[in-house]
Structure 1
Amino acid sequence: MSVTLILILVVVVALVVLITVNYFRMKNAKPVANSKQIKVLNNKNFKAATKRGVALVDFWAPWCAPCKIIAPVVNEIADTQNEFMVAKVNVDHNQQLAQKFKVRNIPTMLILKDGKEAGRIVGVKTKKAILKEVESVMAS
Structure 2
Amino acid sequence: MRTLTDDEFTGAVATGNVLVEFGAQWCGPCRMLEPVLDELDRERGDLTVVKVDLDESPRTARDQRIMSAPTLQLYQDGQLVAQTVGARPKIHLIAWLEPHL
Aligned equivalent of 2:79, options 106, 109, 116:
116
Amino acid at match of 1:95: P
Hey, which bits of structure 1, 4+ residues long, moved more than 3 A? Answer: none
Aligned residue pair count:
101
Taking the TM superposition and a 5 Å limit, the aligned residue runs for 1:37-52 are 38-52=1-15
Question: What CA RMSD, in Å, does the superposition of the two structures yield over aligned residues?
Answer: 1.0
Structure number with higher strand proportion: 2
Taking the TM superposition and a 5 Å limit, the aligned residue runs for 1:16-95 are 38-95=1-58
TM-score by length of 1: 0.69
SS in 2 for 1:118: strand
* Distance in 2 (alpha carbons) for counterparts of 1:40 and 1:71: 12
Identity %: 28
* Distance in 2 (alpha carbons) for counterparts of 1:70 and 1:84: 17
Task: State the 1:127 CA deviation.
Answer: 0.8
Task: State the 1:39 CA deviation.
Answer: 2.2
TM-score by length of 2: 0.93
| 8 Å CA contact retained: 1:54, 1:84 | yes
Structure 1 unaligned blocks of 5 or more: 1-37
Q: Deviations over 1:38-77 (max 9, x none)?
A: 2221111111111111111000100111111111111111
Structure 2 unaligned blocks of 5 or more: none
Task: State the 1:130 CA deviation.
Answer: 1.1
Matched, 1:125 2:75: no
Amino acid at match of 1:124: A
Amino acid at match of 2:63: K
Structure number with the bigger relative contact order (C-alpha 8 A, sep ≥ 6) is 2
